[in-house]
Structure formats: structure tokens, C-alpha cells
Amino acid sequence: MNPGDRVRVERAGVTNEGVLMPSTTADYLVIKRDGGYNVGIEREDAEVDVLETDVYDVGDEGEGEDSSVVEFDDDLPTIALISTGGTIASTVDYRTGAVTARFDAEDVLRAVPDLAGRANYRGRVVANILSENMTPEIWRDLAAAVHEEIEAGADGVVVMHGTDTMQYSAAALSFMLDTPVPIVFTGSQRSADRPSSDNVMNAVCAVEAAKSDAAEVMVCMHASESDDVCALHEGTRVRKSHTSRRDAFRTIGAKPLGEVDYDTETVSFRRDYAERGAATLDIAADLADDVELVKFTPGMDPAAWDYLEGKSGVVIEGTGLGHVHTDLIPRIEELVDDGAVVAMTSQCLEGRVCDRVYDTGRDLLDAGVVEAGDTLPETAKVKLMWVIANTDDPVGAMQRSLNGELTEQSRPWT
């Protein structure tokens, strides 16, 4: 008896006939009845007859193995679609949970047919992970892949990414690449296996953004709960701010850079952006892997900071204007004396740190803490990893904007 077999199960006077499903466990047989309902039957005292084996080829992708037959249209721009996993364009196999690794242009169009006719597509898989399993190693691979695609002539890049750590990856690529074309991250908050998934609109809007004139690293996700507009967030200023809503992503400290109207397919911007072609393609993908982001909370065991020993960089998510308990200041001083770059951000998220207002702050500055302005804590971590590996003056770099991550003026209404 194997998943995919047609079986008849009798238990306690009830007969169930149908296909044995892979969700079967040691205790329960799971049968898909002809009406479509799954039902779990206790194995104990169940009588099973296999009626027919392999009725359904459970586990294999149902589609044929035909090679891609999508035609290339010279009049359309070429967009590279790069997948790192996540749910947006993956063809999930419900039976095994496996996500197919095949990802050519045809797979993309099969997953999101609405993309057809908007561009020529080149599909590519960099990773096949849940985004919580993202690593700096994959950021390097991703940056290299994007670099290659642009070098090969892509007019824009769309990175399909799980939403949990999308903001970190977008920030990483912002620092690693000088790009002459748009690099647009997108994903979905509601899985692609439901008709209501936000994947279709997000993908369509991301492609439109990738065709636009803004050669920026951006995150393109729903702007509201409605399927009407996607927001374009700068990759270094964006944060996932809700666990489940479609409009989970927010630009912190300002309105989003721009938006894409799903209905009219128009892309518009609120602020200046780097224009297409202005930058020369370049890559600097090295990262210092020993950088930590630590959040200070009242009552925390100072021993929690012991593991920061020997790190090359530490980003602190302090309270308010950028504070920690006075007792921790000597520890910070030790770290700095040891050669670590210690940067201060705020758990307020909105607003910039300022350690000149209160005594604690002044003591922190004396201890050698670097103020990271209004850089978001998560972005600051990625930035510190990058500046330590790529600049001679990481302390100076943390205090100025490299890619829009640190604003000069606080204008949250813009």
C-alpha cells in the first residue's frame, strides 16, 4: 500500500474508498474520497484492500517534460526572474510539499500566466529555501546571479523572495551592486496555492517596475489590502511590519518611493531615483560574516553580550534616542577597544538616534559607539557587514548614506 493507490478501508462499520494520500501518518490512514474530501481513519482495526496501484502519480510534477517553447519577442524588454524559493512562483506539490526547482520561462508563465506579453523572461533559480533560512552566502550568490543577468543584457531583474527576510536581501543587494537597471524584489504574503494569492498582482507589478526607469533596488508589494496598487519601497528603508497582511511592507520614515497601479500598469515615483543607465554595472559582494545585531531590553543578562567577544562589528538596537543600561557601557568600550565597530540604532524604528542629549548617550559616544542616524537596525547590520569588508573607514561609512539607508533630513511626510 503506497500513496497514490486506490484503496478500500473498512473500520467500525464504515467503508471509505479512495486514493491513499501521502499525508498518511503512523496512526491515521488519509484517504481522498471520490467526492474530494480527505478523511483520516485510525489504522488500528482498519481493514485495507488495495484496489489499484498508482492511480495517481503522487509526488511527480503532473506536467510534461517538454522544453520551453515560449517565443522571444524583439519588441519587448527582457526581464530576468530570479527565484530564491518562497511561494510566489513556485509550483508547490501539495502531496509532498516539494517545490519544483525547474524554473524556465515557461514555468514562470505557467505559475503566473498574467505575466505573458509583458516582457521576454529568463528564469533562474539561485536557491530553493524558506526565506528564514537565508544566509550571507546566498546573498553573495544572488548578487552574482543578478550581476550576470544584467551583464547578459537583462533590462531589469525581478527577484522572487520569501517575505520574512526580503528586507535584508534587498539591503544586501543595494550595497553589493551598482546597477544600471531596476532590481525589484517581490513575494507573496498569501500562498500561491490559493485563488486569492497576492502573487499574481505582485509579480505583474514587479515586472512593470523592472521595466521602469528607476535603476534602484526596490521591494514591490501590495500597498493596501486591496488588489489595486503595489508600493515600491527602497531596499534599504523597507521593513516587514505585519505578520500576515498583504500590505505588510512599509517604508519607514517616509512614504514609499513609488507605486505601480495594477489596473493601468503605470509606474510612478514620489522622489528622485537613480535613472536607468546612469550607473555602471559593478559588484562588490564581500561581507564580514561576524557582525551581530543585538537588542537591548531592561533586565537583560549582561552575559548575553559575552558572545560579542571578538566580533568585527556589532549593531545595537537601543532604546529611544539610542541608549542601553549604563552598566553595559564598559562592555561596549571593551568591544571597541578590541577593534569592533559598534553602531547604534533605535528600536523605535522611526526617527534618528542622537546620543548627545542625555548623559547615557554622551557616555556611549565616549565609549566609541558610532551613531547610525536613522538607519534601520536590520539594514545597519547588513551595511556593517558590507562596509567592514569593502571600505577602509567603516566608522565613517556608517555615519553617511551609501544607498539611501540614512537620510539627511527627517521628512516623514514625503
Partner 1 sequence: MSEYDYEDLGLVAGLEIHQQLDTATKLYCQCPTARREPEEATRTFTRYLHPTKSELGEIDDAALEESRVDREFEYLAFDTTCLVEEDDEPPHHIDDEALDVGMQIAAMLDMSVVDQAHVMRKLVVDGSNTSGFQRTTLIGQEGQIETSEGPVGVEDLLLEEESAGRVEETDDGVRYSLDRLGIPLVEIGTKPDISSPEQAREAAERIGMLLRSTGKVKRGLGTIRQDVNVSIADGARVEMKGVQTLDDIEDLVRLEVQRQVELLEIRDELQARDASVGETQDVTDTFEGTESGVIEGALDGGKVTAVPLFGFDGLVGHELQPDRRLGTEFSDHAKRHGAGGIFHTDELPAYGVTQEEVDALKEAVGAGDDDAVAIAAADTETAELAIAAVKERAEAAIEGVPEETRGANDEATTRYLRPLPGAARMYPETDVPPVEPDPSEVEIPELLTERVDRYQAEFGLDAGLAEQVAFGRRMPLFEQAVADGIDATLAAGTLESTTTELRRDDVPVQNLTDDHLLDVLQLVDAGDLAKEGIVDVLTVLAENPDLSAEEAVEEAGLSGVDEAEVRAAVEEVVDRNEEQVEEQGMGAFSALMGEAMGALRGKADGEIVSSTLREEIQKRS
Least CB distance from residue 297 to partner 1, whole Å?
27
Cβ closest to partner 1, residue 140 vs residue 245:
245
- Please give the Cα distance from 298 to 300 (Å, whole number): 6
Nearest residue (CB) to partner 1, 192 versus 388: 192
The residue annotated as part of the active site, out of 164, 178, 261, 290, is 164
CB of 192 or CB of 389, closer to partner 1: 192
Positions that interact with partner 1 (CB under 8 A): 11-14, 16, 23, 28, 30, 32-42, 56, 62-63, 94-95, 114, 189-197, 200-201, 224-228, 243-246
Count of residues in the chain:
414
Question: Catalytic site residue 164?
Answer: yes
Instruction: Give the shortest CB-13-to-partner 1 separation in angstroms.
Output: 7
Nearest to partner 1 of 95, 255 (CB atom): 95
Q: Is 374 known to be catalytic?
A: no
Closest separation in Å from C-beta 117 to partner 1: 15
Report how far apart, in Å, the C-alpha atoms of 346 and of each of 103, 296, 353 are.
40, 10, 6
User: Could you say which of 32, 78, 84, 87 is catalytic?
Assistant: 87
Q: Which of 78, 107, 155, 163 is catalytic?
A: 163
As a three-state string, the secondary structure of the chain is CCCCCEEEEEECCEEEEEEECCCCCCCEEEEEECCCCEEEEECCCCEEEEEECCCCCCCCCCCCCCCCCCCCCCCCCEEEEEEEECCCCCCECCCCCCECCCCCHHHHHHHCHHHCCCCEEEEEEEEEECHHHCCHHHHHHHHHHHHHHHHCCCCEEEEECCCCCHHHHHHHHHHHEECCCCEEEECCCCCCCCCCCCHHHHHHHHHHHHCCCECCEEEEEECCCCCCEEEEEECCCEEECCCCCCCCEEECCCCCCEEEECCCCCEEECCCCCECCCCCCEECCCCCCCEEEEECCCCCCHHHHHHHCCCCEEEEEEECCCECCHHHHHHHHHHHHCCCEEEEEECCCCCCCCCCCCHHHHHHHHHCCEECCCCCHHHHHHHHHHHHHHCCCHHHHHCCCCCCCCCCCCCCCC
Q: How far is the CB of 198 from partner 1 (least distance, A)?
A: 9
CA distance linking residue 361 with residue 399, whole number of Å: 16
- To the query of whether residue 91 is one of the catalytic residues in this protein, the response is no
Closest CA to 265 of 381, 81, 117, 95: 117
Question: CB 93 → partner 1: shortest distance, Å?
Answer: 9
**Which residue number, 42 or 49, has a Cβ lying nearer to partner 1?**
42
Shorter beta-carbon distance to partner 1: residue 16 or 251: 16
C-alpha angle with apex 65: 60 to 70, nearest 5 degrees? 130
Q: Given the complex with partner 1, which of 226 and 264 has the nearer CB atom?
A: 226
Q: Is 179 a catalytic residue?
A: no
Question: Least separation, in Å, of the C-beta of 91 and partner 1?
Answer: 8
CB of 228 or CB of 309, closer to partner 1: 228
CB of 168 to partner 1, least distance (A): 23
Least separation in angstroms between CB 169 and partner 1 = 24
Give me the catalytic one of 240, 311, 381, 383.
240
Q: Which residues are known catalytic residues? A: 87, 163-164, 240
